[in-house]
Each structure stands twice: as structure tokens, then as C-alpha cells.
């Protein structure tokens, strides 16, 4: 004679298994969305706290840190005074970085930081081949969204309309042409910034 307690247990198991089968396609479909959300959260945190914008011509992040002699010659040579070096390591992990909201790379004639680097951590690079990062427009924060005709980020870009322009009333950044100098972020009048640079190291991290 079957145990009277077995039947309810079997029924509950049956429904749990059935529900699992029904939800499996939903879980599979939402997996990419969960991954994207996770990456976006990680990227936002990285840009705010641990990943820094490096000088033009910098080697890949890990190699840059290993190669840089920390002599400060690039910092002294920068006409825009945008390069910083914190010997304590608290800022920039102890190697040169750019604090964009204070000063941005103006892509000076001669690109002096590359020329004076004694270690090879900064390699001579043509202007259009520089890749410090990529500017990203935040529509929700932009003055244009509230009806104002602000064009500061477009007007001040040192590389001009090949990088950033206005299309159908919106700011359009060409990610293939943007070198990540940060002038647009520095000069953007909104708080928080309506346009900011994602350092190349952060882009690499988000793809891992």
C-alpha cells in the first residue's frame, strides 16, 4: 500500500519540474541582458574609481605601468599642464594620468610628452592614430535636451567635425575618429557631465 505522504511530495516535485521547464527559455533569453547590465555597472564604477585616462601614445595599461620610469618628464613637457603624477600612487596608480575635468589633452603641436618620454612608455603616434579613449554623450544630462542650443563640445573639439557634430539636433560622436582627448568633457557646462571620455583601458575591461 503506497505511503499517503508520497503523493503530495510527488505532485510538488512535478510542478517544480514543470515550472523549471517553462522558465528555462526565459532565463536563456534574458542572460545577455543580465550580462550587459553587469558590464555596464562594472564599467561605470571603473571609470569613476580605478581606471585612468593615460597620456597620448601610452602603451596598454599593464605594460604602461611596468615600462614607465615615473621620471615626470612628460608632465613637465606638457604645455597644457594636463598630465599629473602622484608619487604616492593614490591617484593614477603612480604613473602619469589626465584628470580631464581639470585639464584635458589639447593635442599640442609636437606632442611633447611622447617626444621626451625616456622609457618608451609613451610611443610616438600620429594624431589620428592616438587612442586614449572614446567620448560618450549622455542625452539625459545635456542642455540641448531641455531646449537650449549648446554646442560647446562640438565647437571645442581639437579634431573638429570628423569626431563630433550635431545631427538632427543631437550630439553625434564618431567613435572611430575620437581619440579621447577629453576637451569636450572638460568644457561641458553641466553637472554631471553630458559628455565624458571612457578610457581605453576601461573599454578593454568591459569586454572581458
Summarize pLDDT for 180-195 with one digit per residue, the tens.
Answer: 999 999 999 999 999 9
Boundary (domain end) residue, out of 14, 31, 49: 49
In terms of domains, do 8 and 60 share one? no
In terms of domains, do 60 and 41 share one? no
In terms of domains, do 73 and 119 share one? yes
* Domains of the chain: total: 2
pLDDT band (50, 70, 90) for residue 50? confident
In terms of domains, do 23 and 114 share one? no
Boundary (domain end) residue, out of 49, 71, 86: 49
In terms of domains, do 195 and 100 share one? yes
In terms of domains, do 84 and 175 share one? yes
- Note the pTM of the prediction, 2 decimals: 0.74
What percent of the chain has pLDDT above 70?
A: 74
What pLDDT does 80 receive?
96
In terms of domains, do 23 and 95 share one? no
In terms of domains, do 66 and 126 share one? yes
Integer Cα distance of 7 and 106 in angstroms: 76
Whether residue 26 is predicted with pLDDT greater than 80 in this model: the reply is: no
In terms of domains, do 162 and 135 share one? yes
In terms of domains, do 128 and 92 share one? yes
In terms of domains, do 125 and 137 share one? yes
| Structural domain harbouring 99 | 50-206
In terms of domains, do 29 and 61 share one? no
Q: Which residue has the higher pLDDT, 190 or 42?
A: 190
Amino acid at each position: 500500500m503506497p505511503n499517503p505522504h508520497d503523493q503530495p511530495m510527488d505532485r510538488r516535485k512535478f510542478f517544480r519540474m514543470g515550472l523549471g521547464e517553462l522558465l528555462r527559455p526565459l532565463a536563456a533569453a534574458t542572460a545577455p541582458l543580465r550580462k550587459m547590465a553587469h558590464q555596464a555597472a562594472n564599467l561605470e564604477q571603473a571609470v569613476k574609481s580605478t581606471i585612468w585616462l593615460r597620456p597620448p601614445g601610452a602603451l596598454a595599461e599593464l605594460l604602461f605601468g611596468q615600462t614607465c620610469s615615473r621620471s615626470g618628464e612628460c608632465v613637465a613637457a606638457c604645455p597644457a599642464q594636463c598630465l599629473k603624477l602622484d608619487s604616492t600612487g593614490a591617484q593614477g596608480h603612480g604613473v602619469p594620468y589626465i584628470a580631464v575635468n581639470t585639464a584635458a589633452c589639447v593635442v599640442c603641436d609636437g606632442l611633447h610628452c611622447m617626444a621626451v618620454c625616456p622609457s618608451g612608455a609613451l610611443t610616438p603616434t600620429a594624431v589620428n592614430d592616438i587612442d586614449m579613449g572614446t567620448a560618450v554623450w549622455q542625452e539625459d544630462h545635456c542642455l540641448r535636451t531641455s531646449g537650449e542650443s549648446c554646442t560647446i563640445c562640438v565647437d571645442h573639439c581639437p579634431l573638429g567635425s570628423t569626431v563630433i557634430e550635431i545631427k538632427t539636433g543631437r550630439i553625434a560622436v564618431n567613435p572611430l575618429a575620437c581619440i579621447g582627448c577629453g576637451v569636450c568633457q572638460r568644457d561641458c557646462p553641466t553637472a554631471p557631465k553630458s559628455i565624458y571620455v571612457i578610457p581605453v583601458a576601461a573599454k578593454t575591461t568591459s569586454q572581458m
